[in-house]
Structure 1
C-alpha cells in the first residue's frame, strides 16, 4: 500500500493519452439531424480531468474515456490497467465488458428479426420447450405463471428472471441451484445453463415487472437454436466481424493476454484489492469458456465498443455496410415500457424518473429536476466492473468509460457519473 500513491502519480504524468482524431466514415451518425451542441470540442478536456480525479484519489487504478461526436473521437487514458506491474491503460487495453455485453447480444437477436426468422412476440417455449410451464415465487409459495414468456419479455427484462447476486424473492432458489452464468463459465454449456435456469421460479408473471436478470443468456441460446450455430460463432459472423471488433470475444487468446486489464475489488472503506481470477467474477478470461454468455461474457477494447456504438448512432450502418436495419435500431433504442410500469421502472438499478427501457438498454425519455445530466433520447447501459456507454442522438455523440473495479455494493464507482457531469453539467463556457 505504501507504493500505491507513487505508482498512481507516475501514471498521471506518464500514461496519459489525449487524442482528438478525425474519422473517415462520413455516413455515420449524420442523417440530416439538427446541428448538435459542440460538446466534444468544448468539454472533452473536462471529462478527461474528471477521470483523472478518480485515479488520483485511488478510487480506480486506471481509466479510459472515449467520446465520439460527428467525425471526431476523443480518447483519454490515465492510470494503470495492472497496478502491481505498472502497466498503463491504453487504447489497446482489453476490458471485461460484463453487462455491456447485453446490447451486443440484442443486436445479434435483431439480425434474426431483420431476417424474418423470429418475432418479438414469439413464445420462448417455441424455441426452448423447457420454458413452457413456468412458476412464480410468492410469499405464499409457488403458483403457475400467468401467460407465456416471450422474446420481447427477455429483451426488456420483464421476463421475471433474476440474478443470484440480487436480493429478491427467488434469490434463495438461485443460490440453492447454484445458477449464475458468470461464475459457471467454465463449468457448463449455454444449453445446460439455460435448462437449469428454466427450472427456477420467476419473480413475477412475464410482462408485469421490470427485473434485472439472466434474460440475455436465454436470448443467446435462442440464437443458437434458430441459427444452428454456437452463439459465439453467430455473434462473430453477424456483429463482431462486420463492425471490425477484432479484439472482442468471450476470452482473450494467448497472443493478446498481456493486454487484458487486471480486475480489482473495492471494499466499502475504499480499499482496492486485486480480484485475481475469482470464480464469482468469471474466473480466468484467458481460457476459452464452455458457456458463451450473452448477458455478461464479452471482453474487448474501447475502440471495438465504440464501433458498435457508432453503428447504433448511424441507424445500423458502419463503414458503408448495413449491420442492422434502421427499424431494428429504432426499436432497440426507444422506450418499450408502458405507463403501467410506473414513473421509475428502473429504480432498483439506481435510475429514477425519466428513465425507461428499450431493448437491452436504458432510454432517457425526460429530464426531471434532480435527474443526472444528459440528453433526452439517450440509449445505453453499464457493466459490473464500473464501465458504461451511451449514445446521444440529439448531439450525435457516443460515450464510453472503462475501468475494472467491482465495488462491494454491486453498484459502480462514480467514474461514469463524473465524466457525464463534466460533459453535460453546467460549464464555464
Structure 2
C-alpha cells in the first residue's frame, strides 16, 4: 500500500499531484486545511494492481523514478501498515463469509470437509472428495461413500522386480528406514524363493554404523553383504547375477536439498537394468514430503514405500500429498518387527487409519508372499529381530566377519 501526503493551494492542484505521482487509480483518504494550504492524503494499492495484471505502462506517469516522489514520514508509514493489515483482514473475512455461505448451502458436504480437515487432509482435496455426494444422504452413508472414494483414489503399484529378479535400490532421506526395509524385503524373498535367490549390497559409507546394521541381519539370515565403493561397481556385479536373483541395494540417506542436482545411478542405468524405489516416512509434513518427491525425481523411482505409519500424527496430511503425485505405493510398515509390521499396500486399511477410525484388533496380517518357513533354519527367529537392538556384546565378532568388500571378492555369494 503506497500512501502519500500532498499540499496544494486548491483541490485541482492537489489532484494533479496525486495523478502525477500515484496515477489515476489512487484513492483520496482525507483532506483538510493546514496553515492555509489544502493537505490531501492519498493511497495506491500496488499489491492489488499486481494481482490484477496492471503494469506500470498502464498507469502513465506512475512509472517515474522514486527519487522524484515526495518523501514519506513515520505517520504515513504507520498508516500504510494499518491499511495493509486492514486489507488482509477484509480478505480473510470475505473468505470466511464465502465458506460460511457455502456451508449453509451444503451442510452435509461442509461436515464431511470438516471431518477430513480434522484428519489432516487439505481443504482442496477434501472439497474434491465430497463433490457430487447428495445432500439428502445420512451422514454415515455419505462418510462410507467418502471412505470408498479415498481408498480407490490411492495409487497402488505391484512391480515385477520381486518376481523376475534383478537389481533393486532403495533411495530416500536419512532416517526413513531404508536399511530396515531392505532387511524386510530380503526376508520376504528368502521365504518365497529360498536363500540363494537374494543378495545384499550396501553403498552407505557415510552414516556411522549404517552398514553394520545390514551386516548383522545378513549374518543372522545367512546372507553375504557386499560393501561397495561406488555405483560403478554395480555394473560388474550385474554381469555375475544369475536369472531370478534379486540384488537389494541399500544407499546412503541424503537431504532433499542435496539431491536437487544429483542423479543417482545415471551412469549405471546406461549399462545395466536397475530399478529404484523411494522410501518416505509417514511422519513427514506435507511441505517436506513435496520437497522429497521433487528432489528424488532424478533417481527415477518407480514405486513408493511408506514407513512409520504407526508414528504419524495425521496420516491424512501425507496421503493428501501422495494422492497428487504419480508414483504408486507398493509396501508400508507400521512397527519395528521385520515381518508382522511390513505389509503389501492395503488401501482400505490405510484409509481407515487416515480417517482415524477404530481398527478392530485381529490376528497379525500376513504380508504378500508369506509362506511356511520350514527348512529355512533361523528365518523364524528373524521375525522378532529388532534391527535397532543392541547386539554389541553378543555379535561383535560376527558383524566383522560378515563384511565382504566387493572390490576384493566380487564372486562371493553367487
- With normalisation by structure 2, the TM-score equals 0.25
Q: Which has the higher contact order (CA 8 A, sep 6+)?
A: 1
Higher helix proportion: 2
Q: Which entry has the higher C-alpha Rg, 1 or 2?
A: 2
